[in-house]
Amino acid sequence: MRLPRDLSGSALIRQLAAFGYVATRQAGSHIRLTTQEGGEHHITVPLHDPLRIGTFAAILAAVGKHHGISRDELLKRLLAS
């Protein structure tokens, strides 16, 4: 599945809330999200608009790996919410 090119960091943060991620701290324009689902996991999301494709892909890969789902399945779930 092709990655959207116009997704902002704040929109991604709202969508990751469905996977139990909550903001735990902020340093400048970067927000660190943490989830306790499936064990503790941290991810840092920049508040850029739009997110760079490589950054977005790396975030999806890390979240998918932690939750044991593929990048495409994760992307479908995120875009559906």
Homologous superfamily of 9-80: Hypothetical protein. (3.30.920.30)
**pLDDT given at position 7:** 92
Is the model's pLDDT at 2 over the cut of 90? no
For residue range 44-67, list pLDDT tens digits in order: 999 999 999 999 999 999 999 999
Residue 67 to residues 35, 71, 73, Cα–Cα distance (Å): 10, 10, 11
Q: How long a stretch of residues is the chain?
A: 81
Residue 80: band (very low, low, confident or very high) from pLDDT cuts 50, 70, 90: confident
For residue range 6-50, list pLDDT tens digits in order: 999 999 999 999 999 999 999 999 999 999 998 999 999 999 999
Domain residue limits, the chain: 9-80
The position carrying tokens 């941290």 is 42
Other Cβ atoms less than 10 A from the Cβ of 38: the count is: 11
Which H, E and C letters describe the chain, residue by residue? CCCCCCCCHHHHHHHHHHHCCEEEEEECCEEEEEECCCCCEEEEEECCCCCCHHHHHHHHHHHHHHHCCCHHHHHHHHHHC
